[in-house]
Chain A
Amino acid sequence: MHSNTISVGYGKVNPVKIGNTEPLAFIGGPCAIESKEHAFKVASMIQEICKKHSIPWIYKSCFDKDCRSSPDSYHGLGLDGLDILKQIRDEFGCPVVSDFSNPAWAKPVGEVCDMVQVPAYLCRQTTILKGAAETGRPIHLKKGQFMSPWNMKNSVRKIEAYGNKQILLTDRGTFFGYNMLINDYRNFPIMMETKYPVCFDATHSVQLPTSMGNISGGQREFIPTLTRAAAGAGIHALFMEVHDDPDNAMSDANTQLDVKYLENILVQAKTMHEIRIDLFNKYGADNVK
Chain B
Amino acid sequence: MLSDINSIKITEAMFSTEKFPVISSTTLIKETIESMTKFNIGVACIVEDSNLLGIFTDGDLRRLLLSHQKPFPAIFADDVSTYMTKAPCVIQKDASILDAITLINEKKIWDLPVLDSNKLVGLVNLHTLVTYINSQ
Contacts and interface: CB of A to CB of B under 8 A. Distances in A.
Interface string B10-27: 000000000000000010
A154 B73 CA distance: 13
Interface string A141-155: 000000010110110
Contacts of B74: 148, 150, 190
Nearest to B78: A150
Given A150-B78, A154-B77, 6 more contacts: A148-B73, A148-B74, A148-B77, A151-B73, A151-B77, A157-B26
Contacts of A153: 77
Contacts of A150: 73-74, 77-78
Contacts of A154: 77
Main secondary structure of the interface of A (DSSP, over half): helix
A100 B78 CA distance: 30
A150 B77 CA distance: 6
Interface residues of A, number: 7
Interface string A210-230: 000000000000000000000
Nearest to A190: B74
13 contacts: A148-B73, A148-B74, A148-B77, A150-B73, A150-B74, A150-B77, A150-B78, A151-B73, A151-B77, A153-B77, A154-B77, A157-B26, A190-B74
Interface in A69-109: none
Nearest to B73: A148
A143 to B, nearest CB: 13
Interface string B67-89: 00000011001100000000000
Contacts of B77: 148, 150-151, 153-154
A240 B32 CA distance: 40
A151 B77 CA distance: 7
A154 B78 CA distance: 11
Give the top 6 A-B pairs by smallest Cβ distance, nearest first: A150-B77, A150-B74, A151-B77, A153-B77, A148-B73, A148-B74
Nearest to A157: B26
Contacts of A157: 26
A289 to B, nearest CB: 9
Residue among B73, B77, B78 facing the most chain A CB atoms (10 A cut-off):
B77
Interface in A112-135: none
Contacts of A190: 74
Interface in B25-76: 26, 73-74
A151 B74 CA distance: 8
A148 B78 CA distance: 13
B75 to A, nearest CB: 9
Nearest to B70: A150
A150 B71 CA distance: 11
A23 B68 CA distance: 34
Nearest to B75: A150
A136 B86 CA distance: 35
A153 B77 CA distance: 8
A159 to B, nearest CB: 14
Nearest to A289: B67
B129 to A, nearest CB: 37
Nearest to B82: A193
A157 B24 CA distance: 14
Residue among A150, A154, A157 facing the most chain B CB atoms (10 A cut-off):
A150
B32 to A, nearest CB: 15
A147 to B, nearest CB: 11
Residue among B26, B73, B74, B78 facing the most chain A CB atoms (10 A cut-off):
B74
Contacts of B73: 148, 150-151
A157 B77 CA distance: 12
B13 to A, nearest CB: 38
Interface in B75-115: 77-78
